[in-house]
Structure 1
Amino acid sequence: MARQKNYKASLQTVTKGFEAVEDSIKIDLPRNPRNHRQLDHTQYLGLGFDAWAIQSIHVIRTLLQGGNFSVATLIGYSVNGLRFFLGFLGGGAIKSPPATPNSLTKRHMERFISWLKLKYPNGSTAKNYYTSFKSLVIVLADYGFIETNTDDLLPPNPFPNNAQSTKDADPLSMGEMQRLLGALKSDLIAIHKGTFIGNGAEAMSVMLLITAARSGINTTPLLEMTRDALKPHPFVPNLRLINTIKRRGKGAQSKTIRQTNLIDEFSTIPLDGVAVLNKALEISKPLVALASEEIRSHVWLYRSGQRGGENKIVYLKSGALYISTKSICERHALQDDQGDRLHVTLSRLRKTMESRLWKLSGGDILEVSSVMGHSPGVADNHYLKINDEIKVEGATFVGEAFPDKLRGINVTPTPPGGCKDSLYGSRAPKDGVNHCSEFIHCLGCPSYAIVGTVEDLYRLFSYQQFLYAEIEYFLTDEWDEWRKRQLDYIRLINEFTSRKFDVALVNEAKAKAESAPHLFWAKKIEFMKKKRSGSI
């Protein structure tokens, strides 16, 4: 049995209040998106709940030093959690309030929840305050200040219908997204030409919004992105990875973004994730040496522009981003589909990207949640909006399947099957010269097409053999999730072909691919086998 850490060895007893805690009850905070410089619990002393004030600041300081929680999250524990709970205790709502965390009971929690619901009857405010305090209670228990099992302390599902009473922001429609990206593109061209009329915060906001639209990264990790975040993609030359930190849940995250050649002619600059991020790094590079050591690793640096501090170097925060985004929308007179001013947030951009991914993946929620970096449940409940547009345009798995033959439509043969338009298809360069070469992404592309012939199915099952070979090549533990994803593709290919085509046709094509895969995939399989054996 694994040895459990004994917090009481250093914290003595929880029943005497706070004698074991000797640290100051003020914490100076590093720079953070919420712009709080300090947590001060001295304001809570003398109310009869000193143990709550001191023991809470102790665990918050410990978590801050550990580095696994964002500063904004820990601020919430104090500002949104403890502050409102102590307001509840001091308001006389209960006769015998818990003087210490260890005297907290489930009945106290139930009364606190009722108090919050009465005080904040609309929206999600009450739930947010409760969630912050609940998280604080859990860490107090983790560090030995509460001895009661939290399962016996916290009521299950105290806000069961909260989603029905709150209006979540919808993703942008495709029309709204096109208008926004058109405006951002024109601003990007002006930034390249040096004719951009906005301030430094707006220029950085333009490039951050494009990066957000391309990557779907959460707000805080995107704002805190460091200058070394861009990494080479391990497989595809024209893709790059953006490495960011999402402290809640999965920690480090990688997002894939496309890289195309940056054209010198400003009118043809693509909205390219890598090129835009590199431009932000280029513009902010001269400011790094002038910035404080605390922020010089950030990407989104600019000159403050505030009176008296014009030359002060700051980085983009949520408040400045909100103001800049509003200014961009007003300057371009952007409207939503109802004719009102378009309201843009990073949350809406993220949800828009997820909806687009839902379309491309044919509604495969597991695939979407894997790409976006959170659990399927979170994606299903909070991000995906299956609106009428998606219902109409939603693609089936592996694009458009044609069981018998395509009448009047030309399909270009490709290594995994066929493509409706390899020059101007969904993932093609669209320059009229170069054909699409994104073969490992065909299965999620709406331009992909399968004709019910042995030859086309042979190409698809040859690609499946390549997936098997990849799984055998990358056997170390860090590739475990990736291997599961590849196995999902293998399974989906089998399910799709058995459902759409004649069994004898499928078996013939599969046997041919197993004995002698298509030359394109055979060469890749051969290379991986040689690398694995050490012969090359």
Structure 2
Amino acid sequence: MGKRKVYVRTDVSISQVEHSLDHQGCVIVLPEAIPPASTLVTFGRNATNHRSFDFSRWYGTGIDPITYACQRQIERFLAVQDTTVEISTVASYCCNGLRHFLDYLQLRATALGHELTLADIDRELIDGYLGQLASQGVTTTSQKTLYNCTKPVLQALGQRGLIVLVAAGDGATFPRNPFPNSNRKVKGETPLPKAQRQAFAAAVKQAVMPIWRDDVPLTGELLAYALLIVALHTGRNTTPLLEIGCDCLRAHPKDNSTFLILWKRRGHNTSKVILRGESTNERILEATPTVKINVERLIRHVIARTEPLRAEATDDLQAHVWLYRSRGNKGKGQVTALSDVALQYGIQKLVNDYRLTDSDGQPLRINISRLRKTFANRIFELLDGDLATTAIALGNTPLVAGRNYLLPGEDAKRNWRFMGDVMIEELLTHTIGATYKTTPIGRCGDLVNGQYAPKREGSICINFINCLRCRHYAVTGNDLHKLFSFYFRVFAERMRMDKRRWAREYAHIPRLIDDYIVAEGLRRGVFKLAAVEVARERARIEPHPFWASDLLSDLEVFA
């Protein structure tokens, strides 16, 4: 029997924008509808700290029709009338987007000396809004965030026919790319170096110890420390961790293992992490990350300790794990849940109490995003560079994991630094290219005394399997055919040997070529994408003679 379709119920009582059309077909909001009976929009509990937004300050300032239309659209988002949008996202639309947009419209109406209507929303107005954001002195990435929180509301109004949207051309309502190259200006978090990771892990483990004593009351700081331990060992994001439910631990088919189930709001699905009971030294080969039993015991202990608080908690908090009694002046003694603000306070207290510092002696910067990247790089290291499994552990695609979470190791940095020094020397001495000798998969700077060379008199290096790891190795666009011929030759070995042995000895080679050499070459402009695709296809059909399978019977000769 097929699965029945489930229809989402929506609140059809949300008022429409009361309007009519003039003789030119423009939308005119009826004056008697403005302002509405209530100008306060309530969000309820969500992943942000915003619970409501009041539109009253913009009524009576010369932009009433637009203010009214925006308020109604926000109400429709909350009622799931037009599309499914998370409540936290709607809150951001209001607090980060419409607040700035309506302020700009108010200034514009005052400057022009007349009321602005929905018909005034066009490309000129949007360009003016972008100019206003730029004049506020905030970074380009912040401007982009504010703009991206405004645009969806206006697009929804356009889709309902309340404003005219021009899709393309010079008069397009929204410019195609108002913030070019903005991604290059974003400096993402970096994973914690080994020494700092160990210091943080030791500190948070010590700080959370009082949570095991039943006579010690639960506080926001203790729960923050417990959450940090879960974050460090699972690599999950902030909101799913804060919203862990009491039923988050599920049975696993294997003994001494448990599933940790987290809800991902943006993806509208769950994320699974295996909490393993047995400590082994084996490599992680499952499709999901595993951590030791102490994390499971910690979560179960917190659930047990917060059980009495659930009877007093409000309906929207009863399913949460991280509950405690508030000690603040507002609502003192009331049951509340750990929030992002409380988490940040706990992190700051941990850093101060244990004097955690970075390599420059400054207070160590800790946040969930940084712990996630630390987890990703640690898993990648343990798996000997297995990008696919690392991506699964993170819940991302290999492309996203490689681009946004993984950093080149120290060996890779040293290799690039060495290549840069050589190139500078060759440019200064006008001997570009003379340093490197041609090899079957690229070029080598020292065939006799290289990193993997035999270093015997009269012998040259033929250890081509390790070329990709060698600091003397280099590749140019002219070497791509040889490189991809080697690439496909390595894949051909899978049919000739045990799969486990291939995974152990050769699987890293295609990953290094795809995810480091080619990707980095494209990013730096050393290779052209068209040339890469041509060389790849040519190597597939007509491999370089050195790597033709009918000439070489075993790659071990070159290991």
Shorter-normalised TM range? 0.5 to 0.7
Structure 1 unaligned residues grouped into runs of 5+:
1-6, 263-268, 394-451, 464-497, 507-536
Partner residue in 1 for 2:295: 273
3-state SS of 2:363 partner: coil
Query: Could you tell me how far apart the structure 2 residues matched to 1:190 and 1:455 are?
Result: 57
| Contact 1:303–1:314 (Cα < 8 Å) also in 2 | yes
Query: Could you tell me how far apart the structure 1 residues matched to 2:184 and 2:502 are?
Result: 45
| Contact 1:85–1:112 (Cα < 8 Å) also in 2 | yes
Which deviates more, 79-88 or 161-170?
161-170
Distance verdict in 2 for CA 1:46–1:361, change over 3 Å: farther
| Contact 1:81–1:132 (Cα < 8 Å) also in 2 | yes
Partner residue in 1 for 2:72: 58
Partner residue in 2 for 1:188: 208
Distance verdict in 2 for CA 1:242–1:17, change over 3 Å: farther
Name the larger-Rg structure. Answer: 2
Query: Could you tell me how far apart the structure 1 residues matched to 2:91 and 2:503 are?
Result: 53
Is 2:152 the counterpart of 1:157?
no
CA offset at residue 505 of structure 1?
A: 6.6
Please give the per-residue CA displacement for 1:116-150, whole angstroms capped at 9, x wherever unaligned: 11212436322221111123223333444334155
Q: How does 1:70-149 map to 2 (within 5 A)?
A: 70-92=86-108, 95=112, 99-101=116-118, 103-122=120-139, 124-149=141-166
Which deviates more, 25-34 or 144-153?
144-153
Query: Could you tell me how far apart the structure 1 residues matched to 2:235 and 2:117 are?
Result: 42
| Contact 1:59–1:143 (Cα < 8 Å) also in 2 | no
Query: Could you tell me how far apart the structure 1 residues matched to 2:327 and 2:211 are?
Result: 17
Query: Could you tell me how far apart the structure 1 residues matched to 2:248 and 2:305 are?
Result: 16
Distance verdict in 2 for CA 1:62–1:224, change over 3 Å: farther
CA offset at residue 322 of structure 1?
A: 0.7
Number of residue equivalences: 398
Q: How does 1:279-290 map to 2 (within 5 A)?
A: 279-290=301-312
3-state SS of 1:92 partner: helix
| Contact 1:171–1:351 (Cα < 8 Å) also in 2 | yes
CA offset at residue 459 of structure 1?
A: 5.2
Percent pairwise identity: 26
Please give the per-residue CA displacement for 1:77-102, whole angstroms capped at 9, x wherever unaligned: 11111111122222239759993445
Is 2:209 the counterpart of 1:207?
no
Which deviates more, 380-389 or 60-69?
380-389
Counterpart residue identity of residue 116, structure 1: L
Please give the per-residue CA displacement for 1:160-195, whole angstroms capped at 9, x wherever unaligned: 233444443322222211111111222333322458
3-state SS of 1:325 partner: helix
Query: Could you tell me how far apart the structure 1 residues matched to 2:399 and 2:119 are?
Result: 33
| Contact 1:26–1:40 (Cα < 8 Å) also in 2 | yes
Counterpart residue identity of residue 16, structure 1: V
CA offset at residue 254 of structure 1?
A: 0.9
| Contact 2:66–2:118 (Cα < 8 Å) also in 1 | yes
| Contact 2:27–2:163 (Cα < 8 Å) also in 1 | no
Query: Could you tell me how far apart the structure 1 residues matched to 2:503 and 2:368 are?
Result: 40
CA offset at residue 314 of structure 1?
A: 0.6
Partner residue in 2 for 1:483: none
Distance verdict in 2 for CA 1:287–1:163, change over 3 Å: same
Match of 2:191 among 166, 171, 190: 171
Please give the per-residue CA displacement for 1:411-443, whole angstroms capped at 9, x wherever unaligned: xxxxxxxxxxxxxxxxxxxxxxxxxxxxxxxxx
Which deviates more, 52-61 or 353-362?
353-362
Partner residue in 1 for 2:456: none
Partner residue in 2 for 1:316: 338
Partner residue in 1 for 2:367: 345
Please give the per-residue CA displacement for 1:183-210, whole angstroms capped at 9, x wherever unaligned: 12223333224586x9611111111111
Partner residue in 2 for 1:244: 262
| Contact 1:260–1:275 (Cα < 8 Å) also in 2 | no
Query: Could you tell me how far apart the structure 2 residues matched to 1:369 and 1:110 are?
Result: 40
Is 2:54 the counterpart of 1:40?
yes
Is 2:313 the counterpart of 1:300?
no
| Contact 2:275–2:292 (Cα < 8 Å) also in 1 | no
Distance verdict in 2 for CA 1:150–1:286, change over 3 Å: farther
3-state SS of 2:79 partner: helix
Counterpart residue identity of residue 93, structure 2: Y
Query: Could you tell me how far apart the structure 2 residues matched to 1:96 and 1:367 are?
Result: 61
Q: What is the TM-score when the length of structure 1 is the normalising length?
A: 0.64
Please give the per-residue CA displacement for 1:204-242, whole angstroms capped at 9, x wherever unaligned: 111111111222222122212222223334x65554433
| Contact 1:369–1:379 (Cα < 8 Å) also in 2 | yes
3-state SS of 1:124 partner: helix
Match of 1:388 among 407, 410, 413: 410
Partner residue in 1 for 2:470: none
Query: Could you tell me how far apart the structure 1 residues matched to 2:184 and 2:71 are?
Result: 35
| Contact 1:240–1:258 (Cα < 8 Å) also in 2 | yes
Partner residue in 2 for 1:225: 244
3-state SS of 2:273 partner: strand
Query: Could you tell me how far apart the structure 2 residues matched to 1:238 and 1:505 are?
Result: 43
Query: Could you tell me how far apart the structure 1 residues matched to 2:222 and 2:20 are?
Result: 55
Is 2:257 the counterpart of 1:257?
no
| Contact 1:82–1:133 (Cα < 8 Å) also in 2 | yes
Counterpart residue identity of residue 125, structure 1: S
Counterpart residue identity of residue 79, structure 1: C
